[in-house]
Amino acid sequence: DDPLCQWAQDHRETYLAEMLRHEGRSDFAEYALCPRCSTAKAEHRCHNCLGGGELLCQSCIVAAHQQLPFHTIHRWTGFRFERITLKDLGLRIQLGHWHGPNRAICPLPQAAAGDDFVIIDNGGVHPVHLDYCMCGQGGHPTVQLLRARLWAATTTNPRTAASFSVLRRYHLLSFESKCAALEFYQSLAREGDNLHYKKDKDHYHEFLRMTRQWRNIRMLKRAGRGHDPAGIVGTKPGECALLCPACLQLGINLPPNWKEAAEEKQFLYTLFVALDANFRLKRKDVSSEERDPGLGNGWAFYCDVVNYMEHVKKHWDDKQERSHCVAHDAVDKPDREARGMASSGIGAVDCARHNMKRPSAVGDLQLGERYLNMDYMYFYSTARCGLLRFFVSYDIACQWHLNIRTRMAKYQDATLTLDGRKVVTYLVPKFHLPAHIEACNLKYSFNLTRYVGQTDGEAPERGWANANPLARSTKEMGPGFRRDKLDDHFNDWNHKKIIALGYAMRKKVEKAVPEMVETRRALSDLNESVASAVVKGWTEMAEKWEADPTAPNPFETLRKDQHVAKVRAELAAEAAAREAAGNEEEDAVRGDMHVTELIAMGLQLEDQQRVLGADIAATGLHPTDGQRRAMTERTSKLRRKIFAWIDIQHRFFPALANIRAREDEARARLAQGQSVPRVLVSNIKLWLPSAVGAAPGPDRLSVRMQKSISMHEYRLRVGQVAEALHNVRRQLLVRTHLYHLKDQYERGVRANMRSGDKIAALNDQIKRAAAQYRVARNALVTLGKELNRDEWEWTFRHLAEEDVRGLPRAQMAKNKEPREMSWIWVARGQDATPAVRIEWAKTRARAMRWAEEVDLLEEEMRRIDQFLRWRSDWWLGRVGLRGLAEGPQREGETAYTTRQAAIQATLAKEFRNEWEGLDDLIKNGRAGVVAGEAESDVEEDEHDEEDDSGEEEEPVPISQKTVKPTYVDEVLDM
């Protein structure tokens, strides 16, 4: 069934034979005379005309190609075909006479360029005979060329032109493949002569100039500048940039009463923008603004270069504050990649939700990612839009925005300001945020910020991925040429985004509505699992934090548990203070080791013993050679470490040496009568203070151990048991998320096996954390009795197997019996632990973000439809604005406006058809119904989290999703 294999097996020989047959005269070999005139010898054929290569005489082939002057002709020499141009055959192209019965006849023709004219077309580079009309009918030579759909390389005595067709072809090809003009031109030159094309006269520079002019005129034409009485010189900044129909456009797609909207609906009229810099799009220090000023300064996406550079020069020496967060090389080490470059990259402001470039919001960077550059683009892009609220995404927003109003005041520029009434929220893109410090992860998170929906802030990165292939050619360009080309490609990027909005919005809604329903259910289930008074308190806490970020954060642990590392640090600091004061205990130090270090090392060895024992057991009865070797090496290494530690321990507690000696003697006596296996390294007794306290009377009394030493272990054990319980909770939360992802997004055997492997590995980690908890708690039982300390008992209870289960994903299981929350999630009596609060806050945030996303998508679809209708009317309003135009010119202008109006109206209609049924989907989703099913009819997917085997029940998903989300909330550490 494979067409390629079938062709290779059955038809390849035929294809090769037919290709060789075309090298000869084929079916026309038997005709000596031209079949059209029957008088002259038939020896010419066209390479492009359809018909199998009909042979014609010279006069007939020229007559047949009077309107096809760019076809390739071959002449039969008697043995083979050789190429010959239509110019050599005598064809002349007459301009200025394209209508009427005698359209090719001019009484006063004048040969162009001394009869040495070249036209570049899709078929190659063609030398031609070209005649201008000098009888007064044709007009200026360049106009005659343009009316023949030929673009002159110069306006004075042109010698080269390009067809509209080839310019359009290269224009579109450059958008799709990012190929350079040189590569495209060389492919055309090889069309004409693949052997000597480099020896022929090169017209590349003329072609390059014509492509620049073509891009510029096409941009102006599409912006309606040909219909404006002010003409091209009246073009305003950013006027040629394609606008995002889904974004807020003042006076175009906002409702008349948008400023009076309720506070909870104001986010629908908030502009989302994203800033970023790109250091791939550099420019070498070649040419200059004087030699290459560009053809459209500030007309599209680039800022006006004159005003921009004046700002840069004026504030170049302003000191930039250092980062208080993570190091950002582009800011802190700006000269690293800037040597020898006139521009080290570009910065831009994009539409953050729809991935489109904003007008007058792109600028060159001179030395890294300096605030003065990014400030200009940000202020210039947002200050004049007339809106009051903004969400601003920037990967260094945490440091950039701190003194932004101070810098704004210093600039003293009316265009670089923000109205004091505007509400601006600064955030860090989701992908970049994990690299920031913990405080930034809470303060600048899209996931935790209200009213942002599912915006991720990574829009510029997607745009850069499209533009980066241009870097190879644009880095060698002059400043103006580079700006013109990037402007053109950014416009095409916006164009492709616009025409895809219909499909894109439908897919987003179809994804967002089920997620909204599911996350609301998850929040409802969790609310029912926690006391209503507790939920009320959490809700008040979350709402206060959302209104005032300085209030306690519901996503943050307010009470920090004493984990082992922190306890060790405290013990070390206390010991150092005692030593400095000269009142350290007598037996606390031996050599260069303190007793607290000894106990901490003992706890580590105990953990390693337990892990090694579990790993050996996991290898089963028939381990492989590799497993056996690895276990042997780990066992030997740990045995050596334990014996070395025991030697030090005996220096602190000599009586332990006697206890171990008696144990060895007892084993030796037992071995005399029977075979006794060697003590496994995982079973070697470490005799920590807790073990001594639990030992029989004689052994316990023989070891002189002060209570302060037991207290050291007690404090370490409290940290250890807290850390182990934390790990149990965290891994259970991760397992819940993995179950959810597996149910909703994994399809196929391979994907399900991979997910199953991950869950199985996670179950092992949960078991090990639970085992560590039990060992540490048992030690606390002994130490607590000795030290008369019992305050830990209610917090750290006995951990049974059935206690190790995740948070309930629904209040009712499938057997309709209530599911109680395990004590591990409520560790302080009636008060829920931070783990539950954080999970609740995250669940609430997810539900709110998806509900906001549905609201935003609904509003954006309304905006898009209104924008396209407005744009259609705008084009119709261009008709007749330039009253001087008449005749064919007026007809052409009118035809273009009606065509553009029809395009906008057609898009609007197609989008409405694409979105048919989405209103009902959204309405049902808000009512808790998805895909026509009532919520009560949708079976909740459940996992028996109490079963450590990792087995789960077969879920019934709410919707059949097939695409995994690009971003999944990470489980925050508690």
Residue in this structure with the two tokens 């009485």, named with its chain if needed: 229
CB 825 within 8 A of CB 836: yes
pLDDT band, residue 691 (cuts 50/70/90): confident
Q: Which pLDDT does position 944 carry in this prediction? A: 41
CB 711 within 8 A of CB 787: yes
749-787 and 595-618 are packed helices; what angle lies between their axes, rounded to 10 degrees? 140
| 655-667: average pLDDT | 83
Q: Which pLDDT does position 814 carry in this prediction? A: 35
| 432-443: average pLDDT | 86
C-alpha span between 46 and 50 (Å, rounded): 9
Structure tokens at 30: 């038997």
| 341-353: average pLDDT | 95
Tens of pLDDT along 611-660? 998 888 888 888 888 888 999 999 999 999 999 999 988 888 888 888 88
Q: Which pLDDT does position 892 carry in this prediction? A: 94
Structure tokens at 256: 């008349």
pLDDT at residue 970 tops 60? no
> What stretch of H or E contains 710?
helix 707-745
834-876 and 532-547 are packed helices; what angle lies between their axes, rounded to 10 degrees? 50
> How many of the other CB atoms lie within 10 Å of CB of 52?
10
Tens of pLDDT along 27-73? 888 889 999 999 999 999 999 998 768 999 999 999 999 999 999 99
Give phi and psi for 618, each to the nearest 5.
-70, -20
Structure tokens at 108: 């006063």
Q: Is 773 exposed, middle or buried (0-12, 13-18, 19+ CB in 10 A)?
A: buried
Residue in this structure with the two tokens 């031109």, named with its chain if needed: 185
Strands 117-121 and 593-594: unpaired
pLDDT at residue 966 tops 50? no
Q: Which pLDDT does position 948 carry in this prediction? A: 40
pLDDT at residue 601 tops 60? yes
| 608 contact partners, CB below 8 Å, separation of at least 6 | 638, 641
| 369-381: average pLDDT | 92
Nearest Cα to Cα of residue 46 among 30, 69, 29: 69
pLDDT at residue 941 tops 60? no
Q: Which pLDDT does position 968 carry in this prediction? A: 27
3-state secondary structure of 278: strand
What are 589's strand-pairing partners?
Answer: 594
The amino acid at residue 133 is C
Q: Which pLDDT does position 742 carry in this prediction? A: 72
Tens of pLDDT along 283-331? 999 999 999 999 999 999 999 999 999 999 999 988 888 777 866 655 6
Q: Which pLDDT does position 588 carry in this prediction? A: 78
Give phi and psi for 377, each to the nearest 5.
-65, -40
Residue in this structure with the two tokens 């970049």, named with its chain if needed: 432
pLDDT at residue 808 tops 80? no
Tens of pLDDT along 454-498? 999 999 999 999 999 999 999 999 999 999 999 999 999 999 999
Strands 345-351 and 271-278: antiparallel
- Residue 780: C-alpha distances to residues 710, 723, 790, 791, 827 (Å): 10, 14, 9, 11, 16
C-alpha span between 464 and 280 (Å, rounded): 9
Q: Which pLDDT does position 574 carry in this prediction? A: 82
Average pLDDT, the chain: 85
Quote the pTM value: 0.78
235-244, 505-514, 765-774: which has the minimum mean pLDDT? 765-774
C-alpha span between 483 and 475 (Å, rounded): 11
pLDDT at residue 840 tops 80? yes
| 33 contact partners, CB below 8 Å, separation of at least 6 | 39, 40, 41, 42, 57
Q: Which pLDDT does position 708 carry in this prediction? A: 82
Structure tokens at 564: 């082992």
CB 74 within 8 A of CB 81: yes
C-alpha span between 864 and 351 (Å, rounded): 14
Q: Is 151 exposed, middle or buried (0-12, 13-18, 19+ CB in 10 A)?
A: buried
> What stretch of H or E contains 498?
helix 479-499
C-alpha span between 733 and 969 (Å, rounded): 12
> How many of the other CB atoms lie within 10 Å of CB of 625?
7
Nearest Cα to Cα of residue 463 among 547, 577, 349: 349
Q: Which pLDDT does position 420 carry in this prediction? A: 61
Pick the more confident residue, 736 or 184: 184
Nearest Cα to Cα of residue 512 among 932, 756, 853: 853
Pick the more confident residue, 562 or 666: 666
Residue in this structure with the two tokens 């693949």, named with its chain if needed: 194
Q: Which pLDDT does position 267 carry in this prediction? A: 95
pLDDT band, residue 74 (cuts 50/70/90): very high
C-alpha span between 866 and 855 (Å, rounded): 17
| 380-408: average pLDDT | 90
pLDDT band, residue 375 (cuts 50/70/90): very high
54-63, 269-278, 779-788: which has the minimum mean pLDDT? 779-788
Q: Which pLDDT does position 819 carry in this prediction? A: 54
C-alpha span between 272 and 852 (Å, rounded): 14
pLDDT at residue 940 tops 60? no
Q: Which pLDDT does position 530 carry in this prediction? A: 80
Tens of pLDDT along 710-729? 888 888 988 898 888 888 88
